[in-house]
Structure 1
Amino acid sequence: MTPFGARLRALRDARGVTLTDLAKALHVSPAYLSALEHGHRGRPSPGLIHQVNEFFGLIWDDAEDMVRLARVSHPRVVLDTAGLSPEATALANRLARDIRRLPPDAIAALLAILERAAPEA
């Protein structure tokens, strides 16, 4: 599941909206929304993000948060470490190999380290 997909599902659950009803309102298929929620589809388009924000009545910070979540929700990431240190390449390869085995607390710790070292813009 992607960050955007998790938030979309949480919004649907909190408001009692079915996948089918949301898909109909957004003019997309339920299969597409399900794939988006489960991380089997890439980032949603800016237009779809806007539609989701409008459907749920999200404004200001909540709407911006949906844009941010969509930006970090590509399920198949490619890392180019050309020109970086050997350690950076080793880290990228290790993460690619082991990410499925990391427990949630280890992922949270790694994200916290990265946020302290290089905060998102």
Structure 2
Amino acid sequence: MENYGEYFKALRESKQLTLREVEKATYVSNAYLSQLESGKIKQPSPLTLHKLASFYGVSYEVLMEKVGYPVPQKEERLAKSGAAAYRIGEITEDEEVELLNYLKFIRSRKK
């Protein structure tokens, strides 16, 4: 993904979390998270990605793939997880970010 930072920001915002709240839960500094979201971190460590995947409730493999690490058997993994992308077909990275933004909007109305 060219600018995966937008994806990480959309994930965080879809859960209505601040950088400090993510830091507190994952022990990844908010400065690092900010740099990750702005695209300044070129290749985040797999350990950091694992922490964020667990916290955000997304697949570790998806985050690995987003930042450019090789991940085998993408289609099989999507089918097993019941992921929305598998059910609705392939979506672009921009569409995925927009879907996360829409989810943020929906969740904000529930409060």
* Correspondence 1:69 to 2:76: no
Q: What is the root-mean-square deviation in Å for CA atoms of aligned residues?
A: 1.7
Deviations 1:55-103 (A, max 9, x none): 01113xxx3221111127xxxxxxxxxxxxxxxxxxxxxxxxxxxxxxx
- Listed as ranges, the gaps of 5+ residues in structure 1 are 73-121
Give the partner amino acid of 1:38: S
Indicate conservation of the 8 Å contact 2:8/2:36, yes or no.
no
Q: Which residue of 1 aligns with 2:24?
A: 24
Indicate conservation of the 8 Å contact 2:5/2:39, yes or no.
yes
Indicate conservation of the 8 Å contact 1:23/1:30, yes or no.
yes
Give distance in 2, aligned partners of 1:17 and 1:55: 11
Q: CA deviation at 1:41?
A: 2.0
Give the partner amino acid of 1:35: Q
Indicate conservation of the 8 Å contact 2:35/2:41, yes or no.
yes
Q: Which residue of 1 aligns with 2:45?
A: 45
Q: Which residue of 2 aligns with 1:4?
A: 4
Structure with the bigger RCO (C-alpha within 8 Å, sep 6+) is 2
4+ residue runs over 3 A deviation: none
Indicate conservation of the 8 Å contact 1:35/1:41, yes or no.
yes
TM-score by length of 1: 0.50
Q: Secondary structure at the match of 1:71?
A: coil
Give distance in 1, aligned partners of 2:13 and 2:4: 14
Give distance in 2, aligned partners of 1:64 and 1:32: 21
Structure showing greater radius of gyration is 1
Q: CA deviation at 1:36?
A: 1.2
Q: Secondary structure at the match of 2:67?
A: helix
How many residue pairs match? The answer is 68
